[in-house]
C-alpha cells in the first residue's frame, strides 16, 4: 500500500470502534514475531498529562544521547505524529511500509481464526512496536490509549510504569467511579517494576497502592516521596524546585505553563531517575536539558499574541480545571473569548461549569465531523446566553478575533479533535497564502 492507501485502510478500521481486550493484539504481535519483547520500554497511563509526561521522559532520554522511540495518541494533524524516534515523526514511506506489514499479519490471524479483526488502535500499536524494534531503539516511551488493564499497549514489561493521575473520563469503558478507573490504570503495574504516580485521594490511590503491594512493585507518590514547589511562573514557562527524598532538591526550568505541569515534570524526572538506576548514561544534566526542551502542542499552547491565542484539549473536567486555573493565573483581568467544541460522550455539563465565567464570550462549534461530536446548538444551549452557535470553525474564530482587543485572550478548546482541526485550518490558510 502507498501512504494514501494506508490512510484509507486505517480510516476503514475506525468503524470497528474501540474494543477492549487483549486477544487481538496478542495474536497480531505473535504473528509479527513479538517485536514488543525486543525493546526496553517506559509505560505511561493516566487521565490527563500522559502526553506531556511521555514527551518529557523521551526528551530526557534523548538528552542522554539515547535512541528513543515514543508512541502517543491521538494525533493532531497526521497519524505519523504517533510514531516518533529521536523527536522526528515517522516519514510517509516508512509508515506505509509498516502498516502494509501489519495489515498482512492482521489479515492472516483473521483468516486462521485466531481472532477477529484488530482495531485501528491495535494496528497502530503493533506498527509502533515493529518500528521501534526494527530501528533498534534504546528505549521506547509507550503511552496508553485508554485505561490500562485492557489497553492494547499493556503487553509490555516496562522498566518503569507511570500513572499520571486519575479522574473521571471514559466512564462508559473504564468505570463510573474514580476507584474503578484507578483499577484500570493500575492494570499496567507489573511484578517488581517500580511505579511513579501523582494520583491523589483515597479513591484513586487505594487501588494503585493495593496492586503495587500485590505485585511487589515499589511505589513513588507525588506529594510524599517527591514534590515540586513553584519558584516563578508565566505563560512563557516556569521555574520550580523538585524535592525527592531527603537529599535531593534541584531547580528545573520548563517551557510549559500551568501548575499541573510542575507535577507532570516531577513525574517525568523521577521516572527517568528510576531508569538511570540501571543505565548510568542518564545523568543529572540530561534531566534538566530534557524537560527544558519539551514543548507539547495542544495543551496551553500559545500560538500568537496581541491578542493571545491559546489552544488546549481540555476535554474532561480535570482538564477544564487545569485550563481554568491557568487562565485565572495568567489572565486574571483580561477579556476571554472561547471557541469551544466537545465530543458528545464527554461530561459536557461539568466541563462547561468549570471553564466559563459569566462575563466570557463563547462561540460553539461542532468539534469534528465524526458522529461523536456534540452539535454547536447543543453546546450553546448548555452554556446559556453568553454562547452563540456557529456553523463552522473558521466563522467562530473570525468572530472571536473581530471581537478581541490586543489585551484579551482567545482560547480554542474542548477537544483534541477540535485543536487538530484548527491546526489543519491554519496550515491550509498558510499554504493558500504562498
Structural domain total, the chain: 2
358 shares a domain with 308: yes
279 shares a domain with 325: no
Instruction: Note down the domain range covering 129.
Output: 3-292
User: In the block, which residue shows the cell 506498527?
Assistant: 127
pLDDT tens for 166-212 read: 976 544 555 568 899 999 999 999 999 999 999 999 999 999 999 99
365 shares a domain with 243: no
244 shares a domain with 100: yes
Q: In the predicted model, what is the mean pLDDT of residues 18-42?
A: 94
- Bridge pairing between strands 41-45 and 160-163: parallel
Task: Tally Cβ neighbours within 10 Å of residue 425.
Answer: 14
Query: For position 171, what pLDDT does the model report?
Result: 47
Residue 414 belongs to domain with CATH number: 3.90.190.20
181 shares a domain with 143: yes
Instruction: Assess whether pLDDT exceeds 80 at residue 344.
Output: yes
Please name the residues in contact with 350: beta carbons below 8 A apart, sequence gap of 6 or more: 317, 320
For residues 169 and 419, the model is more confident at 419
pLDDT tens for 38-78 read: 999 999 999 888 999 999 999 999 999 999 999 999 888 89
> Of 261, 292, 323, which marks where a domain is finished?
292
316 shares a domain with 263: no
Instruction: Assess whether pLDDT exceeds 90 at residue 368.
Output: no
For residues 347 and 283, the model is more confident at 283
pLDDT tens for 104-157 read: 999 999 999 999 999 999 999 999 999 999 999 999 999 999 889 999 999 999
Residue 61 belongs to domain with CATH number: 3.40.1190.10
Distance CA 175, CA 168 (A): 9
> Of 292, 319, 335, which marks where a domain is finished?
292
Q: In the predicted model, what is the mean pLDDT of residues 284-305?
A: 93
Query: For position 170, what pLDDT does the model report?
Result: 46
What is the percent of the chain where pLDDT is above 70? 96
Instruction: Assess whether pLDDT exceeds 60 at residue 246.
Output: yes
Query: For position 14, what pLDDT does the model report?
Result: 80
Confidence of residue 297 (pLDDT cuts 50, 70, 90): confident
Query: For position 32, what pLDDT does the model report?
Result: 98
Amino acid at each position: 500500500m502507498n501512504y494514501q492507501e494506508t490512510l484509507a485502510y486505517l480510516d476503514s478500521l475506525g468503524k470497528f470502534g474501540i474494543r477492549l481486550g487483549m486477544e487481538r493484539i496478542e495474536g497480531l504481535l505473535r504473528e509479527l514475531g513479538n517485536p514488543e519483547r525486543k525493546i526496553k520500554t517506559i509505560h505511561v497511563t493516566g487521565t490527563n498529562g500522559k502526553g506531556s509526561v511521555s514527551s518529557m521522559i523521551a526528551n530526557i532520554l534523548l538528552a542522554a544521547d539515547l535512541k528513543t522511540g515514543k508512541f502517543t495518541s491521538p494525533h493532531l494533524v497526521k497519524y505519523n505524529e504517533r510514531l516518533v524516534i529521536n523527536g522526528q515523526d515517522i516519514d510517509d514511506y516508512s509508515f506505509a511500509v509498516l502498516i502494509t506489514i501489519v495489515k498482512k499479519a492482521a489479515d492472516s490471524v483473521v483468516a486462521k481464526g485466531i481472532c477477529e479483526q484488530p482495531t485501528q488502535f491495535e494496528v497502530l500499536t503493533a506498527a509502533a512496536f515493529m518500528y521501534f524494534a526494527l530501528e533498534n531503539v534504546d528505549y521506547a516511551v509507550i503511552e496508553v490509549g485508554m485505561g490500562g488493564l485492557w489497553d492494547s499497549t499493556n503487553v509490555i514489561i516496562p522498566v518503569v510504569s507511570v500513572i499520571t493521575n486519575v479522574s473521571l473520563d471514559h466512564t462508559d469503558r473504564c468505570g463510573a467511579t474514580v476507584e474503578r478507573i484507578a483499577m484500570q490504570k493500575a492494570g499496567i503495574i507489573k511484578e517488581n517494576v517500580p511505579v511513579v504516580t501523582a494520583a491523589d485521594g483515597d479513591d484513586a490511590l487505594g487501588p494503585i497502592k493495593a496492586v503495587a503491594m500485590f505485585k511487589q512493585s515499589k511505589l513513588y507518590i507525588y506529594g510524599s516521596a517527591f514534590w515540586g514547589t513553584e519558584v516563578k511562573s508565566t505563560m512563557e514557562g516556569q521555574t520550580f524546585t523538585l524535592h525527592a527524598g531527603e537529599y535531593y532538591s534541584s531547580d528545573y526550568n520548563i517551557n510549559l505553563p500551568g501548575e499541573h505541569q510542575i507535577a507532570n515534570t516531577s513525574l517525568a524526572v523521577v521516572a527517568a531517575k528510576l531508569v538511570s538506576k540501571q543505565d548510568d548514561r542518564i545523568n543529572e544534566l540530561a534531566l534538566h536539558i530534557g524537560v527544558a526542551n519539551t514543548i507539547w502542542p495542544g495543551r496551553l499552547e500559545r500560538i500568537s499574541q496581541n491578542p493571545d491565542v491559546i489552544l488546549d484539549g481540555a476535554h474532561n473536567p480535570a482538564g477544564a480545571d487545569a485550563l481554568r486555573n491557568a487562565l485565572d493565573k495568567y489572565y486574571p483581568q483580561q477579556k476571554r473569548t472561547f471557541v469551544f467544541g466537545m465530543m458528545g460522550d464527554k461530561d459536557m455539563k461539568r466541563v462547561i461549569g468549570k471553564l466559563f465565567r459569566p462575563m466570557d464570550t463563547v462561540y460553539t462549534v461542532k468539534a469534528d465531523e465524526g458522529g461523536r461530536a456534540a452539535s454547536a446548538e447543543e453546546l450553546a444551549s448548555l452554556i446559556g446566553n453568553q454562547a452563540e452557535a456557529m456553523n463552522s470553525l473558521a466563522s467562530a474564530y473570525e468572530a472571536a478575533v473581530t471581537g478581541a482587543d490586543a489585551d484579551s485572550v482567545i482560547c480554542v478548546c474542548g477537544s483534541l479533535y477540535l485543536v487538530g482541526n484548527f491546526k489543519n485550518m491554519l496550515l491550509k490558510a498558510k499554504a493558500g497564502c504562498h
